[in-house]
Amino acid sequence: MSSNPLLVSTDHPLFAQIEPEHVLPAVESALAANRRAIDELLKDAIPRTWERFVEPLTALDEKLDRVWTPVRHLNAVANSKELRAAYNACLPKLSAYHTELGHNVRLYEAWKSLAEGPQFRALNTAQRKVVLDTLRDFRLSGVALPPEQKKRFAEIQEALSKLQSTFEENLLDATHAWHLDFDDEKALEGLPPSGLALARQAAEEAGKPGAYRITLDFPSYYGVMCHCRDQALREKVYTAYVTRASDQGPQAGQWDNSAVMHDILRLRLEAAQLLGYANFAQESLATKMADSPEQVIDFLSDLANKGKLAAERDLSDLRTFAAQELGLDELHAWDMAYTSERLSEHRFALEQEALKPYFPVDSVLQGLFTLTEKLFDVRIAQGPEVETWHKDIRFYEIRDPDGTLRAQFYLDLYARQHKRGGAWMDECVSRHHYADTMRYPIAFLTCNSTPPLGEQPALFTHDEVITLFHEFGHGLHHMLTRIDYPAVSGINGVEWDAVELPSQFMENWCWTREALDLFARHYETGETLPEAMLEALLASRDFQAGMQMLRQIEFSLFDMRLHQEYDPALPTDIQALLNDVRDTVAVVKPPAFNRFQHSFTHIFGGGYAAGYYSYKWAEVLSADAFARFEEDGLFNPATGHAFLHSILERGGSQPAAELFREFRGREPSVDALLRHHGIAA
């Protein structure tokens, strides 16, 4: 088994050597070894201490992570039929193992004895948080359930693990199964040169040189929606995109997530009720800042009320412009992005396409790194040679001013086949200092930005720049932590509705002249962003902010209400519930065939179930945090150090509300968020 690269003890996975046939044997080996070690640990009747109990358990977690983390990552960024089969074969085994741990009464009692013994008082704040969080998670794992209910709970967790993976696979397959090919670029009139080059490159990669291919990968889809003049083409591409993995559209019934969603919701409800909660929404909030579904719904409804007037004004402006300037008497869903782009160009004399030459990849990265160095007094540089999963991957390290290593990260920037859509940060290694050993944080930072085209470097839209800054904010939270215990270092142990604070905080810099001056430079001339374009870009920040806010609130309310109200006995009509939410808050209603929910991976595949509201909740925190920089001076070193110390370095070692109050000196206020979006409080 020593030839298995997944069983080599290294913090930098041997990506170039990992094959699908390595996965199952490595996972089975790690699980068996961990089970034996836990049994041995629990035979020991001595008083439980941090060093002799928590540290050995942490080492076992890390041993399993070394095996599974690279597999999970490869499944998202380099998916193949063989890897998917190996990945799915392991899901029930991992689910069973984690459920076993959560139901291990002897393990639970051992943690309790540590919490109730004299050792607990000697622990520091972060260590005590680890113990208390672990006991809470035991209760949420059903440790106190009677045997038959425990058995059922375990079955549910295993089934959910498979179903959530199936949801994502269906979406991935549906996304990559559809395309449109054209022999003549005239059919794509309006698509800018970069969009045409992307379409030409996609066709070449598919073995059709000289043709143009439109796909449902987001850069391709979005380019058509914003720029193609052919309304019928926009309708066709929009319909394919919003009906992926559903019962509607050109692939109706293929990879359909309809039944998968109901199964997920039914099982989540059953598991929550086994634990004594009325619904899954209540269970979800046990690990969040918000106290109840009602509090979340009130928070969202209040924001919706504050933003509704602005959203209605945005839509009225759009309709007027569409009728007067574009001859569109009726504004269809597939006209929205196209018309918005034209209105933005008209109002601000700014074309997003014209901005792209000023956001070349290397300049944007250098600006992001320079900003981070100025704010948080660290140094970022290219790291040593490591194995990666694709030729485009970059590897960097972060050091303190004295040269001490702080963290490292892999950067995977571009959209491509066999890679999951969206953008995310994931942990490769969490900070862990024990005895004489230090494991430094390593992050995976993943985007799906427009790739380089031919000899030209990758040129980003401003939205793609914002996405990169957002994910890097998550990365900084993970990488700059000073907490030495993985369970509460970095993003671990942070309440889910506060975890977006650093990421959304970083987005704000993309809207400041001072930060843009660091990186907005023309890729051919080195010229900075012309003053007129800069003014127009900054003025465009508030553009359709009301509509965008209500859209996020719509998704958040749908998520929370779905998990609060779902009843398999009726059963709940998911589409009807979404329509009801839209009737309450939305100013834009999509067509009846739209199946947004079938691709809502955040709540059906990812970790945002009954937690999508976290984006808005954390945006209040991030806007208010950034307001202190506006008050003190954007690059004030004392303010940067305060944010680093109170938020980034402390991870999940204390409640997020305490850390925010420490940084801001008061409770959070919604005023900064409304001001940043041009929506009066």
Q: Nearest CA to 394 among 453, 441, 444?
A: 444
The answer to whether residues 563 and 283 touch, using CB atoms and an 8 Å cutoff, is: no
Burial zone of 579 (CB within 10 Å; 0-12 exposed, 13-18 middle, 19+ buried): middle
Nearest to 130 by CA among 585, 485, 395: 485
The C-alpha atoms of residue 608 and residue 555 are separated, in whole angstroms, by 11
Q: What is the DSSP letter of 396?
A: E
Is residue 364 within 8 Å of 413, Cβ to Cβ? no
Reference 236, options 170, 187, 183; nearest CA is 187
Contact of 632 with 638, CB cutoff 8 Å: yes
Identity (one letter) of the amino acid at 235?
E
Q: Report the SS3 class of residue 429.
A: strand
For 432, list phi and psi in degrees, rounded to 5.
-155, 115
Whole-angstrom CA distances from 541 to 348, 502, 534, 535 are: 11, 20, 11, 10
State how far the Cα of 78 lies from the Cα of 257, in Å rounded to an integer. 22
Please answer whether residues 103 and 70 qualify as being in contact, where contact means their C-beta atoms are separated by less than 8 angstroms.
no
- How far, CA to CA in Å, does 338 sit from each of 223, 324, 530, 674? 9, 15, 25, 26
Which segments of 483-555 are extended strands (E)?
A: none
Please report, as a single letter, which amino acid is at residue 668.
P
- Report how far residue 38's alpha carbon sits from residue 30's, in angstroms, rounded to the nearest whole number: 12
Cis peptide bond N-terminal to 56, omega within 30: no
Contacts of 232 (CB under 8 A, 6+ apart): none
Q: Which residue among the candidates 471, 500, 554, 649 is catalytic per the annotation?
A: 471
**Amino acid letter, 175:** T
Please return the burial class of 324, using the count of CB atoms within 10 Å of its CB with bins 0-12, 13-18 and 19+. exposed
β-strand pairing of 394-399 with 405-414: antiparallel
Residue 583, CB-side half-sphere exposure with 13 Å CA sphere? 6
Which residues contact residue 139 at a Cβ distance below 8 angstroms, ignoring those fewer than 6 apart? 275
471 is catalytic: yes
Decide: helix, strand or coil at residue 321. Answer: helix
Give every CB contact of residue 523 below 8 A, 6+ residues apart in sequence: 357, 358, 360, 363, 456, 457, 459
CB 472 within 8 A of CB 596: no
* 403 Cα distance to chain centroid: 31
The closest alpha carbon to 603, from 563, 570, 569, belongs to 563
Nearest to 103 by CA among 181, 62, 158, 63: 158
CB 226 within 8 A of CB 341: yes
Closest CA to 585 of 548, 615, 621, 617: 548
Neighbour tally for 227: CB within 10 Å = 23
Written as one string, the DSSP assignment of 52-70 is IIIHHHHHHHHHHHHHHHH
- The structure tokens listed for 57 are 């358990």
List, by residue number, the catalytic residues.
471
